Homo-oligomer: A and B are copies of this chain.
C-alpha cells in the first residue's frame, strides 16, 4: 500500500500546535502574534491568496491586518507602508503579496522589510542566513512545508539522497538549502535538477526522496521514479478538462496514478503541499512573535 502524505492532515496537526503556542504567548508573555499582509492592485488570484492567509491567521488567534493599495500606488508609497509596518510593535510578520505591478521594483520592496519580520523568507538576509545556518531567520513557507511533510510522515531526509527538480527562488533553491542543513529535516545528500539537466529521468531515478517543483503538469511519469521512493509534488497546475464542470482540473507536476504504483509514499495535488504553505506562514509569524519576547515555545 502506498502511503499518501496528506498535507491537509499534517497542516491540521501543526495548526493545532500553533493555536496552543499562540495561547501561551498571550497568557504567559502578553503578546498576540500579528501578521500584516500587503496587497497592491486587484488581481483576483492575489486577492484570494491574501484573503486565505488572513482568515487562517485569525482562526489561529493571530492578529491580522490587510493593507490594500491601489494598482497605481508608487514604489515610494509602498516602501513607506512597509517602513510603517516595520516600526509597528503589534506586527511580527509582514507579507507583501507577489507579484507586484510592473512599475514597482520587487527586489527593492522585499529588501525594505525588516528581516526580523520577513515571514515569507525572501529577503536576501533571510536567504543568506538560511544558506549559512547563522542567526535567526525564517525559511520560505513552501519548502519549509515540504520538509515538515517529510519529517512528520516518517521520512526524515537525513542521509537520504533527495533530488529536487526545479531551481526557483521560491521553492527549489530554498528546499535544497533546508535539506542540506545540519539540522532536523536536513543532512540529506541533495541534487538540484532543472530545465538544463540532461536526461532528467536518469537523475530522478536515483532519488530516495523526489521533490518536484517545475510547474509542468504531470511531467514526472512512472518510469522516472525509483521503486520504493518518496515523492513530494509541489506543482499546482490547471489543465483544460472538458469533462469537468469548471472546464479544467488541478494537477501536480507528477502523474499521480502512474507514480503512485512505484512510490512507497506520495503527496497528492490538491491536498498535498498546498495547505502547508499557509500553515508555515502562520508558524513563522508565531515564531517571530516568540523571538520578540524571548519565548522558547
Q: A residues bordering B, Cβ < 8 Å?
A: 107, 123-129, 131-135, 158-161, 167, 169, 173, 176-177, 180, 182, 187-194, 196-198, 203, 206
CB–CB B191/A198 < 8 A? no
Closest CB of chain B to A12's CB: distance in Å?
32
Q: Which 9 A-B pairs have the closest CB atoms?
A: A124-B128, A127-B128, A128-B128, A191-B191, A189-B197, A187-B196, A132-B169, A124-B125, A127-B131
In the complex with contacts A126-B128, A131-B127, A173-B132, A159-B196 CB distance below 8 A: yes
Q: Which residues of B contact A127 (CB under 8 A)?
A: 124, 127-129, 131-132
A177 to chain B, nearest CB (A): 7
Task: Knowing A180-B192, A191-B191, A206-B206 are in contact, say whether A129-B135 is a contact too (CB < 8 A).
Answer: no
Name the residue of chain B whose CB is nearest to the CB of A135. B107
In-complex Cβ contact of A124 among B132, B180, B188 (8 A): B132
By DSSP majority rule, is chain A's interface helix, strand, loop, or mixed?
Answer: mixed
Closest to A163 in B: B191
Chain B residues, CB < 8 A from A193: 189
**A176: B residues at CB distance < 8 A:** 176, 192
**Bound form: Cα–Cα A182–B129 in Å:** 22
Are B169 and A194 in contact (CB-based, < 8 A)? no
User: Which residue of B is nearest A203, CB measured?
Assistant: B189
Question: Residue A197 contacts which of B131, B132, B159 (CB distance < 8 angstroms)?
Answer: B159
Residues of B within 8 A of A173 (CB): 131-132, 177, 180
How far, in whole Å, are A89 and B190 apart by their CA atoms in the complex? 42
> Do A196 and B158 touch across chains, with their CB atoms under 8 A apart?
yes
